[in-house]
Amino acid sequence: MNVKMSVVVRTVADIMVVPIVVFGIYLILHGHLTPGGGFQGGAVVASSTALLIVAHGAMKDNKTDLSNMESTGLTLFFLLAMVGLIMGFSLFYNSLAGTGGIFGGTVSGINPGYINTGGTIPLMNIVVGMEVIAALSLILWMMAKRSGSLEVEK
């Protein structure tokens, strides 16, 4: 009872997937400068999964990859939080802020937004984004599978 929507919808969905994913990644990467962040960007990327499911009614089985991605993201998140602890501070101490290098720049007052600031915060955004993408995609995948609106592509 899975529904394959009309050719118009499918073509537009195929074209829209890449911009949606890129836009979500933009939200994740610029989370420390503009509204957005790991959760919001992850949700936007995950909705591209929803788009594919709804347009084609079929999708590749990438549950294992998604599950691995989720666990990896969370583990990395915890380890990033542990960076401060290992250096002798407490958990979640932002020990990379202002130390130079990528994401280590300094900033003050109103500014146009420099991408290389924030210390561990952009990195945490990225790993949380990975986790959220995988988690929400997995939820959508499982529920679509159960409700019979998804065929597994080979």
Partner 1 sequence: MMLYYILQVLILIGLVSTAAAVIWFKDLISAAIALGASSLILALQFYLLRAPDVAIAEAAVGAALTTAIFIFAIKSTDRTEGYK
Partner 2 sequence: MNVDLLLQSPVFILGIPLLFAFLTPLADKVSKELRNAVFIIGLLLTALFVSLMAYEVYTIGSWTYVFGAEDPTAITDVSFFRITFLADGFAVLATLTIIITAVGVGIYSFGNMKDFDDLGKFYTLFLLTLAGVMGMVLTSDLFNLFVWFEVTSIASCGLIAYHNERGESVEAALKYMIISVIAGLLLLFSIGFFYGEYGVLNYFLIRDSMDGAFIDILAIGLVMVILSMKASSVPMHMWAPDAYSEAPDSITPFIAITSLGSLFVLFRLIFFVFRGAVEPSSIGNLLIILGVLSMFVGVSMALKQSDVKRLIAYLSVSQIGYMMMAVGVGFATLGTADYGAFGVNAVEGGFFHMINDGVYKALLFLSVGGIIYAADTRDLNRLGGLAHSMPFTTFFFIIGGLSIAGIPPLSGFSSKLLIYKSVYLYNPVLAIIALVVSIVTLALIGKIFFNAFLGPDQKIGMKIPRSMILSMGVLTVIIVIFSLFPNYVVSEIIAPAIEALGVAV
Partner 3 sequence: MDDFKRFFSTFLLALGTYLILTFAAGVSIVEGTPLWGYEQLVLAFSVALIVASVTSHILCRKDDFRMLNPVRWGIMLVYLIPLFIEMVKANFDVAYRVITGNIRPGIVRIKPGLEKDLSITLLANSITLTPGTLTVDVDEDKKELYIHWIKVRKNPTETISGRFTKWIRRFAE
* Part in contact with partner 2 (CB under 8 A); list of ranges 6-14, 26-34, 45-53, 85-93: 85-93
**Site residues, partner 1 (CB under 8 A):** 27, 35-37, 39-40, 43-44, 46-47, 50, 54, 136, 139-140, 143-144, 146-149
Give whichever of 24 and 84 is closer to partner 1, judged by the CB atom.
24
Q: Which of residues 53-72 bind partner 2 (CB under 8 A)?
A: 64, 67-68, 70-72
* Closest listed residue to residue 131, CA positions, set 79, 52, 72: 72
Min. distance of Cβ 38 from partner 3 in angstroms? Answer: 15
Total number of residues that touch partner 2 (CB under 8 A): 19
**For residues 68 and 134, what is the distance between their CA atoms, to the nearest angstrom?**
9
* Closest listed residue to residue 5, CA positions, set 52, 42, 48: 52
Distance of CA 14 to the CA centre of its chain: 19
Min. distance of Cβ 61 from partner 1 in angstroms? Answer: 17
Q: Which SS3 state, helix, strand or coil, does residue 66 take? A: helix
Half-sphere exposure of 99 (CA within 13 A, CB side): 6
Min. distance of Cβ 137 from partner 1 in angstroms? Answer: 10
Inter-helix orientation angle 120-146/7-29, to 10°: 150
In angstroms, what CA-CA distances link 21 with 52, 82, 115?
A: 12, 30, 20
93 binds partner 2 (CB under 8 A): yes
Give whichever of 80 and 140 is closer to partner 1, judged by the CB atom.
140
Min. distance of Cβ 132 from partner 1 in angstroms? Answer: 10
**Tokens, residue 9:** 């919808």
Question: Out of partner 2, partner 3, partner 1, none, which partner does residue 123 contact, by CB within 5 to 8 A per kind?
Answer: none
Min. distance of Cβ 54 from partner 1 in angstroms? Answer: 8
Half-sphere exposure of 93 (CA within 13 A, CB side): 10
